[in-house]
Amino acid sequence: MELMGKTKVVIIGSGMSGLFAGALLAREGVDVTVLEKEPNPGGLLASFRRRGTWFDTGVHYLGSLAPGQVLWKYFQTLDLFPLCQFDQMDARGLEEYRFPGGYSFQVPQGWDAYEQHLVDSFPAEKSAIQACVRDWRSMAEHFPLYNLNITFSPEQESEVFSDPKAAMPLREYLKQHFSDPKLRACLSANNALYGIAPDECPVYIHALIVDSFINSAWRVRGSSQTLCQALVQRLREAGGQIRLNSRVQKLVSENKRIAKAVLDSGEEITADWFISTIHPKQMLGLVDDQAVRPIYRQRINRLEETISGFVLSLSLSGEGVPTPRRNYFLHRTWDTAAAYHVKDKEAWFNPEAIFVSPLETSPGYSRTISIMCPMPWPIWSAWQDSTRASRPEAYRQTKERIARVLIQRLEEVWPGISQRVEFWDGATPLTFRDYTGTWEGSAYGIKKGCTQLRESTLSVRTRSENLLLAGQSVVLPGIVGATISAAAASGIIMGFPNLIKRLSQS
Ligand SMILES: Cc1cc2nc3c(=O)[nH]c(=O)nc-3n(C[C@H](O)[C@H](O)[C@H](O)COP(=O)(O)OP(=O)(O)OC[C@H]3O[C@@H](n4cnc5c(N)ncnc54)[C@H](O)[C@@H]3O)c2cc1C
């Protein structure tokens, strides 16, 4: 790897994708510098501390981490397991969906157990359930990048989209297959995991996300900060560096290549390769038309975003509330798209659906809980000129109002919980915009929705031969998606045969 020792790579952003790419390339002998605008690394992977309590920002559980599964292979390649422990979610119910009338459905781990539980709950639809499980598993099996077929070509991409079942809206698919609206709701209740309404989400996105968690679901022991620290440690051990408080302001082109990154401070950093893991629309703000064609710029800038969110982080008194290792999706209607199609501004403050993630702080108990609900940018855009340090009073009051509603909703799972809240912290679309730089606070980056399926499928390569893209907007949202995109970008630099060898050795 002597040749690789001379290769210099600058990575913009230290979220999951930036740290993974950085650590992977550094272990190959590449000279890696990760540039992060914040004083702490991790982006959505970082945890934050309030009054001595740690809260996770954007990683509440991870999928496919059992030996041999997709994320396990990637993590094993970096030898992360000695540095970071993972606890498996409850085998009988990694997720629980609650609907009107006290109806609840728990999602067991493993496809066979999941299928059986669906059949037991909706016996009249047995054959349709079996066909659906076959469809979804087959979509996951055939999605190239997800299956470590990292050389994913445009031809393979067309294959995915030419499968009409994979490209159709989830809600339409469910209507065609099932007559019971309760079953349809159970099969689309966890859409908050990717932030696309079931009437807009292509079946393959849902199938991939469901597959990654059904295969096996895990929590980082302690907090997601541990995983962040493990990645930073592996990066540094291999000679890579991470520079904090280093916002990239510009990427300067010369002869259709990126020559250097310019920081806010004016410092210039040259490299052979640049990997941008930031939101693609933010990346466009850094480059000129030599780096990207105007038509590409227009295409990306026109793309819709996944919805943003309001995230409430709660600290409870005493030992907290009893709970298995499980996340909850609480729906007020059987229409699982309702949370996205809210007409009245006021109604956003009283959401149709919320995601609840209790973090295990002692065996079987949780003292900290994250609650997330969809929240569109326009509700908060009146305060878009404010900064983290200068939010106006009206903004704070709006946060408080939503916090009260969300805390009250938790009574459904844990009666009496509202009396046990010690303190809370709320993140809004403005928080996400300012903290991770995501466009209009979008939770999962660019929306891979049915109406922009091809346009939203981004290549890792750009017109500039040494500028690569990674991050949650590229392949798939979530930790699995961010990791896959990072591996794909790294593969271009270190060579795919080399990458595949590393992955297969794990
Ligand atoms: C509330 C929430 C909950 C979630 N829960 C889960 C979950 O339970 N499981 C799961 O798998 N996924 C979850 N996700 C999704 C997952 O967290 C993300 O898909 C993933 O972490 C994104 O990683 P990334 O590297 O693409 O981006 P990010 O984590 O956003 O990292 C981008 C980094 O770039 C930095 N940056 C931006 N601009 C610049 C610049 N100009 N110069 C230098 N640095 C810059 C940012 O500060 C940031 O650190 C959740 C997301 C949200 C919002």
Mean pLDDT of the 203-224 span:
96
Please give the share of the chain, as a percent, with pLDDT higher than 70: 96
Last residue of a domain, one of 164, 180, 214: 214
* Domain annotation covers residue 437: no
pLDDT at 163: 82
- pLDDT of 208 strictly over 80: yes
- Are residue 242 and residue 202 in the same domain, yes or no? no
129 and 201 housed in the same domain: yes
Q: Give mean pLDDT, residues 79-85.
A: 97
Both 395 and 343 in one domain: the answer is yes
pLDDT in tens, 418-459: 999 999 999 999 999 999 999 999 999 999 999 999 899 899
Same domain, 60 and 165: no
CA dist 202 to 40, 103, 489, Å? 35, 27, 25
Whether 39 is covered by a domain: the verdict is yes
Is pLDDT at 273 greater than 60 in this prediction?
A: yes
pLDDT in tens, 146-200: 777 655 554 555 566 678 899 999 999 999 999 999 999 999 999 999 999 999 9
- The verdict on 491 and 466 lying in the same domain is yes
Number of domains comprising the chain: 3
SS3 106: strand
- Calculate the average pLDDT of the chain: 94
CA 46 / ligand 1 centre spacing (Å):
9
Query: What is the CA(308)–ligand 1 centre distance, in A?
Result: 13
- What's the CATH number where 287 sits? 3.50.50.60
Q: Which of 187, 214, 241 is the last residue of a domain?
A: 214
**Looking at 196, 214, 232, which one is the last position of a domain?**
214
Q: Please tell me the residue having the least CA distance from ligand 1 atom 12.
A: 478
| Residue 417 and residue 328 in one domain | yes
Which residue lies with its CA nearest to atom 41 of ligand 1?
248
* Residue to probe by mutation, ligand 1, list 34, 36, 44, 269, most atoms within 8 Å of CB: 44
The predicted structure's pLDDT at residue 2: 44
Asked whether residue 69 falls in the same domain as residue 174, the answer is no
pLDDT in tens, 290-327: 999 999 999 999 999 999 999 999 999 999 999 999 99
What is the predicted pLDDT for the residue at 1?
44
DSSP 485-505: HHHHHHHHHH-HHHHHHHHHH
* Digit-coded pLDDT (tens) for 494-504: 998 899 888 88
Residue 102 lies in a domain: no
Considering the domain architecture, whether residues 328 and 419 belong to the same structural domain is answered as: yes
Q: Are 403 and 498 in a shared domain? A: no
CB 5 within 8 A of CB 29: yes
Does residue 403 belong to any structural domain of this protein?
yes
pLDDT attached to residue 5? 52
Indicate if 151 and 201 belong to the same structural domain.
yes
Does 438 map to a domain?
no
Asked whether residue 2 is assigned to any structural domain, the reply reads no
Q: Is residue 103 part of a domain?
A: no
pLDDT number for residue 259 = 97
Domain that holds residue 16: 8-85+224-303+448-505
pLDDT at 156: 56
Residue 336 has pLDDT above 90, yes or no: yes
Cα 335 to middle of ligand 1, angstroms: 29
Q: Is residue 104 part of a domain?
A: no
Q: What percent of the chain has pLDDT over 90?
A: 89
CA distance 277 to 256: 20
CB 484 within 8 A of CB 67: no
Of 17, 269, 278, 480, best ligand 1 pocket probe by most atoms within 8 Å of the beta carbon: 278
Q: How far is the C-alpha of 298 from the C-alpha of 249, rounded, in Å?
A: 20
**Are residues 340 and 270 part of one domain?**
no
The per-type count for the chain, helices as H runs and strands as E runs, is 17, 21
Around ligand 1, the residues with Cβ closer than 6 Å are: 12-18, 35-38, 43-45, 58-62, 247-248, 277-278, 282, 309, 311, 372, 436-438, 443-444, 471-472, 477-479, 482
Question: How is residue 151 written in tokens?
Answer: 């050389």
Residue 428 identity (one-letter amino acid): T
Going by C-beta distance under 8 Å and a sequence separation of 6 or more, which residues neighbour residue 79? 234
Tell whether 210 and 125 lie within a shared domain: yes
Please provide residue 496's backbone torsions phi and psi, each rounded to the nearest 5 degrees: -65, -40
